[in-house]
């Protein structure tokens, strides 16, 4: 492996990271980075503020992926009913599914942490939170954010966002038969989401969405000293 000296984009200190790592945090100024190829790229970070008085047991990292996708790219079966064997072209299609909207953009929350089963755990959490959160009330990232949990960079998140979007569309509307889209990517931010331990699960502190603790891929590296 080629050894590169990666430097913090904010303060210039050497970054303790290996090109195999997806993400790294500067040990000096704590600025977040992702490792793309042999470069360190600064990451925009924020946290979702927990409700007042709620104790945070665990922060989990999610990518907030913002994009634009044309609704015309979604192909539907025409509406039909048992009383009307032929499609009725006069019935307008239902509204397209609405992922988290930020201004005119669309956005999804894609887990940046690893799980034992992406479709069951990551996608469910991403869909549930994306469908409920209004994108507001962001606060600075927590100082104790568990960076070693980050397994996926923003390019991975861009790859997963269309998977989540397809799942979201299919979950809400059974008549969608074709979904071809080329999202126009706008930006990605790393969002730390607050959870409380609840038995075998972590429960998100805003909406009560749960994820099995055993499904979260464990920290591959020793915790920061």
> Residues touching Zn ion: how many (CB under 5 A)?
8
**Binding of residue 141 to Zn ion (CB under 5 A):** no
Please state the closest distance from residue 155 (CB atom) to Zn ion, in A. 22
Residue number with CB closer to Zn ion (8 or 211): 8
For residues 146 and 187, give the distance between their C-alpha atoms in angstroms, rounded to a whole number: 22
**Binding of residue 36 to Zn ion (CB under 5 A):** no
* DSSP category for residue 21: -
**Binding of residue 11 to Zn ion (CB under 5 A):** yes
Per DSSP, the three-state class of 78 is coil
**Binding of residue 26 to Zn ion (CB under 5 A):** yes
Please state the closest distance from residue 30 (CB atom) to Zn ion, in A. 7
**Binding of residue 31 to Zn ion (CB under 5 A):** yes
* DSSP category for residue 207: T
For residues 24 and 35, give the distance between their C-alpha atoms in angstroms, rounded to a whole number: 7
Closest CA to 146 of 35, 34, 225, 61: 61
Burial class (CB within 10 angstroms; exposed 0-12, middle 13-18, buried 19+) of 156: middle
**Binding of residue 167 to Zn ion (CB under 5 A):** no
Q: Which of 16, 29, 116, 117 lies at the binding interface for Zn ion (CB under 5 A)?
A: 29
Q: Which residues bind Zn ion (CB under 5 A)?
A: 8, 10-11, 13, 26, 28-29, 31
């Amino acid at each position: 492996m080629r050894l590169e000296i990666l430097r913090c984009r904010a303060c210039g200190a050497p970054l303790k990271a290996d090109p195999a790592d997806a993400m790294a945090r500067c040990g000096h100024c704590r600025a977040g980075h992702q490792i793309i190829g042999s470069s360190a790229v600064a990451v925009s970070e924020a946290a979702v503020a927990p409700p007042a008085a709620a104790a945070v047991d665990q922060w989990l990292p999610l990518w907030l992926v913002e994009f634009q996708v044309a609704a015309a790219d979604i192909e539907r079966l025409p509406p039909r009913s048992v009383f009307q064997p032929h499609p009725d072209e006069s019935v307008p299609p239902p509204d397209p599914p609405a992922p988290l909207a930020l201004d005119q953009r669309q956005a999804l929350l894609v887990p940046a942490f690893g799980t034992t089963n992406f479709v069951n755990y990551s996608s469910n959490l991403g869909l549930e939170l994306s469908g409920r959160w209004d994108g507001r009330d962001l606060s600075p990232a927590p100082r104790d954010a568990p960076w070693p949990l980050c397994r996926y960079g923003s390019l991975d998140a861009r790859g997963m966002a269309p998977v989540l979007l397809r799942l979201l569309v299919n979950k809400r509307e059974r008549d969608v038969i074709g979904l071809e889209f080329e999202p126009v990517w706008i930006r990605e931010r790393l969002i730390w989401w607050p959870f409380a331990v609840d038995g075998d699960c972590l429960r998100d502190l805003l909406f009560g969405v749960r994820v099995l603790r055993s499904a979260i891929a464990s920290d591959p590296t020793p915790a920061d000293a």
